[in-house]
A and B are shown apart, each in its own frame.
Chain A
Amino acid sequence: MSQDSQTIKTAHQIVMQKGEMYVGWSTKEDVRKRGGSGGLVTSMLAAALEKKLVDAVVVLKKMNEFEAVPIITSDVNEVLNSAGSLHSVPSNFAKLIANRNLKVALPAKGCDVRGIIEQGKRNAINLDNTFIVGLNCGGSMHPVVTREMLEVMYKIKPEDVHGEEIEKGKLIFETKDGKEHAITIDELEEKGYGRRESCRYCTIKIPNNADIACGNWGVTGDLAGKATFVEITSEKGAKLLQNAIDAGYIQVQKPDEKGVAARSKIKGVMEGLGKKWKDKVFVPMDNRLEYFRKELENCIDCGACKAVCPTCSCGDVSKCTEFHFRGDAYRMSMYHLVRFLHLADSCIGCGQCADVCPVDIPLTRLYRRFANPVQEQLKYEPGMDMRKPPFFEAKLEV
């Protein structure tokens, strides 16, 4: 793009490159204020739209602290209004932009990035036209669980919550009266609250699979909480960031070494914690057939788990549904057997299926039972790069 090479040479000396790290913030006062940590992400998305790097942006339209609906918009103001990170909104963006042939930029938690990449492999998303702004993710919470947690554990009314943050292993809610209420995440999760189960064992804490990875980890000193730490992970990412600087939407500076070290340390700690959770959830088990049958006996064949799965890209006609008839009196449904197999290499453990199952089957746990050994044996991590799903290979590589 000639326009880019021109703008890169403008007054702003920095020429962005893959691999570089920065700390930055929005130049727009209100966006900076409302932003999760400086509003850089929002401003970068808005700049991409404004300068026609993309035709549309996905943002969360916020209803309240616990609810937001993802929309695709071409309205810069709507993008700017979306600043802020909502930890009780386990969003799912991959399917939203699939099969729409968009030139789009969007924020994405680790699991969203992985979903988008898997849709890319299945030709449902053109990754060349998709600018993925990765968000570091320590985990998200289910809104209904969060509300109950606020009432039961924090003894505060959900309506009184004004903001929320995670610091030093504690989940802190700020109420409208300015007070802070803190409880350790460990204690919350022990009682069944806190992050969704899949997030506890998710190990994609810094999404280096996106075009650019943004978060608050690594922002130190006076800037802490007021700036966003970014790592450029692709050419597209470099373009995004440079574009936002050139458009005057953001300012950046080099991070200090302490910050870089802190960021990588937290990442390590979080990943370790994730692995521990994984061992805790996936204990070896006898009588597995009985276990799976028992868990699945309440299934009402709603199809939500398929519809929501960000790595599936079959439409209405798919193997799992076409060979499944509700009149079959099998001991296990063909639908689930096919899905267990198809997701063995592709499940990214995003937890969406468990979130939407109307009869509360812990589906992600079931799918991971099959996916964990297969992905380990095949050394395949779906959604992390463009490697072809092993099931479609011509020859077994491992």
Chain B
Amino acid sequence: MSSEAAAAPKTNGWEPKIVAFCCNWCSYGGADSAGMGRFQQPASARIIRVMCSGRIDPLHVFNAFLEGADAVLVTGCHIGDCHYVNGNDKTKIKYKFLENVVRELGLEKERLQLNWISASEGEKFANFIRDVTEQIKKIGPSPLKPEGVV
């Protein structure tokens, strides 16, 4: 029971699982205002709040994939707006490494994405999640999803 099952894109009724790491000060606010503003938002996102995008360790991202995430999103404040001065500069570095590893590993580029979203950009957040959901629905479940996890 290897990855064949996972390789065939399933679109009918399948909801991808998308893990979005959101910084408390910006993108989590964005996610929040997306909810408050009643923007249409798919149920696919699992939001994990962190105090700053700089706190997101590559390990967290790997863990999300290994536990069955179909895509992982790293989001934070716009560059220059980080509440801890330069946390998101560090995010950029870590992301650079992560991106390379995840790509080289052979995961599609849609499965790992970075976006800067401020607290007021609820619509941007909602659109982002919706776009990613659509992209993932097209390519199907992640090949790293463990056996038995849907």
Contact = CB atoms under 8 A, between A and B. Distances in A.
B144 to A, nearest CB: 5
Interface stretch (A76-84, A157-165, A258-266, A284-292): A284-292
Nearest to B104: A370
Contact of A289 (B66, B90, B92, B107): B107
Contacts of B101: 337, 340-341, 344, 370
A330 B86 CA distance: 34
Interface residues of B, number: 26
A288 B86 contact: no
A393 interface: yes
B98 A334 contact: no
A317 interface: no
Interface in B88-107: 89-90, 92-94, 96-98, 100-101, 104-107
Given A292-B106, A332-B144, A393 B66 contact: no
Contacts, number: 84
B106 A334 contact: no
B97 A334 contact: no
Contacts of A345: 97
Interface string A372-398: 011001100000000000110111100
A9 B138 CA distance: 77
Interface residues of A, number: 32
A324 B101 CA distance: 18
| Interface SS, A side | helix
A338 interface: yes
B58 to A, nearest CB: 5
A396 B92 contact: yes
A144 interface: no
A370 B100 contact: yes
Interface of A: 287-292, 319, 323, 328-332, 334, 337-338, 340-341, 344-345, 369-370, 373-374, 377-378, 390-391, 393-396
Interface of B: 3, 58-59, 62-63, 66, 86, 89-90, 92-94, 96-98, 100-101, 104-107, 143-147
7 contacts: A338-B59, A338-B62, A341-B58, A344-B101, A374-B97, A393-B93, A395-B86
